[in-house]
Amino acid sequence: MSNNNLLRGFKDYIFSEAEKFQYIIDVTSEIAANYNFQKSYFPLLEESNIYSRSLGEESDIISKETYNFIDKGGNDVTLRPEFTAGIVRALITNKLYDKLPLKIFSYGPLFRYERPQKGRARQFHQLNFEYFGNESFYAEIEILLLVRAICKKLRIRDKISLEINSLGSNETRAKYKEHLVGYLKKYQSSLSENSKIRLSKNPLRILDSKDKKDQEIIADAPKINEFYDIKDQDFFVKIIDYLSDAKLEFNINPNLVRGLDYYSHTVFEFTTDQLGAQNAVFAGGRYNNLVENMGGKYVPAIGFAGGIERLIELLDENYLEKEKNFIVPRAEKEFQFSFKLLDELRNLGYNFEVKSSAKNLSKSLRKLSSLNPHFVFIIGEEELSKNILIVKNFRSGQEYKISLVNWQSEFRKIYNNSVLKTIK
Ligand code: HAM
């Protein structure tokens, strides 16, 4: 073996790659703060049982993908393959129960010994969100709207669609498993080798199979929604109704089961058709029983993670392009006032430039519109004498007259409304 090899499935993030990486973390951190998620960091190495007890011995991650070893003190340890189990461990270790409900945002590297391909690495990075202590369907809505806000801000919303399903309660799943296995056993000899193994170990995962023949068999298999009880049904319907109201498009996929053992009720994936087989960009679900199963109190929870490498692939070339806003003084004598305004707007955190008007205002505005601005302030002698400012929203076409006395708060309202509308 020659020296200086990069390990398969590992990557250097150099210059523009590192910039994109940081941009995704910055954008997400800002949105996380708006949604009241608090940033926290957790160890890269945990005792192996943290993962095996939570993800399930038969899950792909535990059965074949962990980087684990015995450390010098004789401890069986594992490099973290995902965040959730370690965060649950931290919640229990630090007895965070009196802080509930608790929203935690984290990001960082993870390790899975998978076969590398486009969108799949052995060291990869996630943005991870966990929401503890909220049993209401409202937590689902908040989480799903949060993903939408991230996609919107990264300008990748039209590349991503939401697949959602409910796995129901533990009892529902147990009943379903029994019926599914009964059905699949009839076709056992025709199943792929992988699915034959899964039939006894992890039968729900057969629903995920990419094998053509498996998929034909699955098409006629019983579906989980046939086994929901009233509570499962009500809970899922509330989510679906709310999502329709919020105009967040989704597809109910009864075969979406996710590869980790801890989920119950809602599971979801935001997928893309731009990354080949590795199509999930954000993925997660509810896991009400995990904290208790790991030795803590009963704490309902929901969370998700997004793959930073997959997001990097989806970013546009011009992803860094900032929003543009302008102040247009109609004539030379409004320049002084315009620059005072510019200074205040920048201090308030808005991105503005002054663009002088040619004699013909409408011609100047037409020229400006090719720069795709969001807001333009028009400063004229007549308006100033009446103590008003004209503000034009180029996205909606609306024009506002705002009073010079409290223009800051009036503009903030107009601006926030416009941003909210575009996030929807
Ligand atoms: P997961 O589906 O295993 O879920 O991973 C979530 C996301 O991480 C995937 O959708 C993908 O974007 C990214 N990802 C996973 N494996 C790789 C890889 N080998 N290379 C590149 N990207 C990858 C979880 O990890 C759960 N802990 C999510 C969660 C949080 N559920 C509840 N809370």
Q: What would the pLDDT profile of 27-41 be if each residue is shown by its tens digit?
A: 999 999 999 999 999
Closest CA to ligand 1's atom 12: 307
- For residue 306, how far is its CA from the centre of ligand 1 (angstroms)? 6
Residue 146 confidence (pLDDT) above 90? yes
Taking the centre of ligand 1 as the mean of its atom positions, its distance from the CA of residue 344, in whole angstroms, is 43
Q: Which atom of ligand 1 is nearest to the CA of 81?
A: 25
Say how many Å lie between the first and final Cα of the chain, rounded: 54
C-beta pairs of 288-293 under 8 Å, 24+ apart in sequence: 288/135, 288/264, 289/170, 289/262, 289/264, 290/54, 290/84, 290/85, 290/88, 290/262, 291/88, 291/91, 291/92, 291/132, 293/53, 293/54, 293/262
Please report the pLDDT score of residue 361 as a whole number. Answer: 87
What is the rounded distance in angstroms from the CA atom of residue 418 to the CA atom of residue 396? 8
Report residue 300 CA to chain centroid gap: 20
C-alpha 291 – ligand 1 centre gap (Å): 19
Residue 1's pLDDT is 58
Lowest mean pLDDT across 285-299, 349-363, 376-390: 349-363
Q: Is the pLDDT of residue 422 over 90?
A: no
Judged against a pLDDT cut of 60, whether residue 423 lies above it is answered with: no
User: Which pLDDT score, from 0 to 100, does residue 58 have?
Assistant: 87
Q: Please report the pLDDT score of residue 227 as a whole number.
A: 97
Beta strands 375-379 and 388-393: pairing type? antiparallel
Confidence of residue 208 (pLDDT cuts 50, 70, 90): confident
Ligand 1 site, CB within 6 A: 82-84, 112, 114, 119-121, 124, 126, 128, 130, 280-281, 283-285, 303-307, 309-310
Instruction: Provide φ and ψ at 97, rounded to 5°.
Output: -60, -35
Strand 352-354, strand 325-329: pairing: parallel
Burial label for 403, CB within 10 Å (0-12, 13-18, 19+), is exposed
Higher pLDDT, 34 or 318: 34
pLDDT value of position 320: 77
pLDDT at position 372, please? 87
Pocket test for ligand 1, best of 21, 113, 126, 275 (most atoms within 8 A of CB): 126
- Asked whether residue 316 carries a pLDDT value surpassing 90, the answer given is no
Interval between CA 193 and ligand 1 midpoint (Å): 25
Cβ neighbours of residue 178 under 8 Å, at least 6 residues apart? none
Per-residue pLDDT band at 356 (split at 50, 70, 90): confident
Give the pLDDT band of residue 108 (cuts 50, 70, 90): very high
Q: Which two tokens stand for residue 329?
A: 């003084």
- pLDDT more than 90, % of the chain: 84
Cβ atoms of 268 and 256 within 8 Å: the answer is yes
Assign 317 a pLDDT band (cuts: 50, 70, 90): confident
Q: Ligand 1 centroid to 386 CA: how many Å?
A: 57
b/e map of 345-384 (b: 16 or more CB within 10 Å)?
Answer: beeeebebebbebeeeeeebbeebeeeebbbbbbbbeebb
DSSP β-bridge partners for residue 103: 131
| Model pLDDT, residue 110 | 98
One-letter amino acid of 72: K
Whose alpha carbon is nearest atom 23 of ligand 1? 307
Among residues of the chain, what percentage have pLDDT more than 70? 98
Indicate the pLDDT class of residue 421, thresholds 50, 70 and 90: low
287: left (phi over 0), alpha (psi -120 to 50) or beta: beta
Query: In whole numbers, what is the pLDDT of the chain averaged over residues?
Result: 94
Residue 251 pLDDT grade (very low, low, confident, very high; cuts 50, 70, 90): very high
What pLDDT score was predicted for residue 90? 98
Q: What is the rounded CA–CA span in Å between residue 275 and residue 269?
A: 14
Nearest residue to 349 via CA among 400, 404, 411, 422: 411
Residue 17 CA, ligand 1 centroid: distance in Å: 20
Asked whether residue 74 carries a pLDDT value surpassing 60, the answer given is: yes
Q: Supply the pLDDT for residue 358.
A: 65
Residue 389: its pLDDT value, please? 94
Ligand 1 nearest atom to the CA of residue 280, by list position: 10
Ligand 1 atom closest to the Cα of residue 287 is 32
Ligand 1, atom 15, residue with closest C-alpha = 307
pLDDT of residue 370: 87
Maximum C-alpha span of the chain:
86
Q: From the alpha carbon of 112, which atom of ligand 1 is closest?
A: 19
